[in-house]
Amino acid sequence: MNITPPKGRPMLYWVGKKPIESVKSYPTQLVEVYDPFKNTRFYEIPEYEDLEKDWHNLLFEGDNKEVLATLLELGFRGKVDLIYIDPPFASNKDYVRKVELRGFKGSRIENDEAPLLQQVMYEDIWKRDEYFQWIYERLLLMKELLSETGSIYMHLDWTVGHYVKIILDEIFGEDNFVEEIIWAYGSPSGGRAKGSKLVKNHDVIFHYAKNYSIRKEYKIYLPYSEKYIKEWFKFVDESGRRYRKRMRGKDENGNIIWEKQYLDESPGVPAPTVWRDIQQVYADPRAYKDNVFTEASFGFTTIKPEALIKRIIKHSSDENDLVLDCFIGSGTTAAVAQKLGRRWIGVDINKGAVQLTAKRLRKIIEEQLKENGNLFEKHNKKYFTFAIYKVNDYDLKLFQSEAKELAIRHLGIERTKTDPFFEGRLGNKLVKIIDFNHPLTLLDLEAIKDELSKRPDEERDIVIVCYGHELNTQAWIEEWNRRSAVNKIKVIDLRTDREKGGFIIHEPPQAKVEIKRTGKNKARIEIKEFISPTVIKRFNLEGSILQKAIQDFRSMIDAILIDPNFDGKVFRTVYADIPKTKRDLIKGLYDVAIPSQRVKVAVKIIDVLGDELLIVQEI
């Protein structure tokens, strides 16, 4: 799929800068739906052409670059009306939802560098060049998705904002820069700064339009201050309404004509580009009233206030417009879009973030239906349904038929339902898909050889699609191709193929946990081993890099939760080991109090990607 090259000026250069000319999309896998009406049609493949007639909101779990490319393939090019993103700032601070291995120092020393995955760009760990290329690629894709009247808001801070501004000029064009918003969130406690440095108390938000001259934009008004009201709306009529006198003109005799401007009919003060009236969520406990989050265990410690996102959405979109946030985090953008009657798409690579967003949206929708009445026909425009899709981290377990279907869509294979052995054709080649529950083996190759012996007139070449292969298969195939004039064999390994690789099948974590009673009312729990295949595949760690990065399996673990008296249904967290910073590891050894009678002890292990493993043992 081709991507339009950027043509704007000025341009920022960095080591390894390379515009993306094309991108690879992946199949979607529908994994969960929320449908309070029980009659919405959910599409296995969420193509825009279908959704336009029968919309449901979209929540994607996957790398946002892969999801953005997939949305382009599904017909969303030019269909998104507003994009808000709050990406990592490359600021070396422990305040955004992170996807990294634990236990690293985060210094500039190479051996201490933590392997990071897409959503964490520490300045001290990631070289600026790598950060610039990372954000550059994603912004190029977002521009393709944006409608001609659409806008993008990019939330940054002082660390990289000045650099990214130049990248935005290049991609969207300097002439399409609308405004720089300063979010002066304040420092209620007085703030802290080292030495004599000034206290940092603001972020920057860059607003660009796809096309400046036809962008959607609506004036925003702020409430008058009490001082302003007292000074200007100082008159009160007989009904108690405040007003001010405003000169409308003069009559024919030159006398001034006054009119009354009532306070309750006045819109307020036009909003400036410096927003001082919205504080950070964690800075003001009162803000939690409208932001229902205290779930720090997921790692979100600076949730953006709903009031901030509400102002942005109302400034640059209409009801029913489509809003995208591909760093969805705790779900604030989707939550506000839902409340304002917009359609929305959320994306995050972290399973915990997707789960948290879904939980938040379900609660909001339930409240909306309760307020408005459960009438589908009347409230359909509010878009009360959503679906969760996986992109390139497919949870297939043992469902081979679903695995084959995803591979067929991924590779563009033409299915042949009448052939009992080969799954289809790729061009003029026959395709054989190997069961993804095991790698390609010599037995699989012998089976293909045996099948071809039954078809002496078959001269087409063979494409084998597999998920991993044993080393001895390569020599077998080379020998076969050397001897055979027809039926040449080519292998597409979905994990490693140069063009079609990077296809990830989800494998659940595994662990060795020892749980034993050490006294009448005591138990000891020890996490002895842990492995998360998806973490390893997502971080793309191989060979010496893998060994260096994961010297301690606890690097892959984000949290340990313990229920010492599990009833087999509801997990109740009594003990929690959630390290304070990403440089810390879980303890791995726990002494807990338990009932004296025989009891089930449950241990929940959550990896750095949010995947969960539940271990239950009766003692």
> Residue 187 is part of a domain; what is its CATH number?
3.40.50.150
Q: Report if residue 161 sits inside a domain.
A: yes
8 in a domain, yes or no? no
Cβ neighbours for 609, distance < 8 A, ≥ 6 positions apart:
99, 117, 349, 350, 351, 352, 532, 534, 535, 538
What is the pLDDT at residue 373?
58
Query: Does residue 290 sit in the same domain as residue 439?
Result: no
pLDDT tier, 351 (very low <50, low <70, confident <90, very high otherwise)? confident
pLDDT at 111: 36
**Would you say residue 460 has pLDDT above 60?**
yes
Is there a single domain that holds both residue 292 and residue 317?
Answer: yes
Residue 540 DSSP label: T
Residues contacting residue 411 through CB under 8 Å, at least 6 positions apart: 426, 431, 465, 492, 500
Please say which residue of 465, 493, 521 terminates a domain: 493
Residue 100 is assigned to a structural domain of this protein: no
Q: pLDDT tens digits for 101-144?
A: 777 654 322 333 444 444 333 333 456 888 899 999 999 999 99
451 and 417 housed in the same domain:
yes
Question: Which stretches within 340-381 are classed as H helix?
Answer: 351-372, 376-379
Cα–Cα distance between 222 and 396 in angstroms, integer?
51
Q: What is the mean pLDDT of residues 380-385?
A: 75
pLDDT of 293: 41
**Last residue in a domain, options 235, 250, 269:** 269
Domain range for 483: 400-493
Pick from 391, 418, 439: which residue ends a domain?
A: 391
Rounded to two decimals, the pTM is: 0.77
Is 4 contained in some domain? no
Same domain, 329 and 459: no
Q: Are 64 and 118 in contact (CB under 8 A)?
A: yes
My answer on whether 54 and 187 are in the same domain is yes
pLDDT of residue 16: 87
How many structural domains compose the chain? 4
Do 197 and 332 lie in one domain? The reply is: yes
Asked, for residue 116, whether it belongs to a domain, the answer is no
* Start-to-end CA span in the chain (Å): 57
Same domain, 306 and 335: yes
Question: Do 487 and 590 belong to one domain?
Answer: no
Q: Please indicate, yes or no, whether residues 553 and 581 belong to a single structural domain of this protein.
A: yes
Query: For residue 114, what pLDDT is reported?
Result: 47
Residue 341 and residue 226 share a domain? no
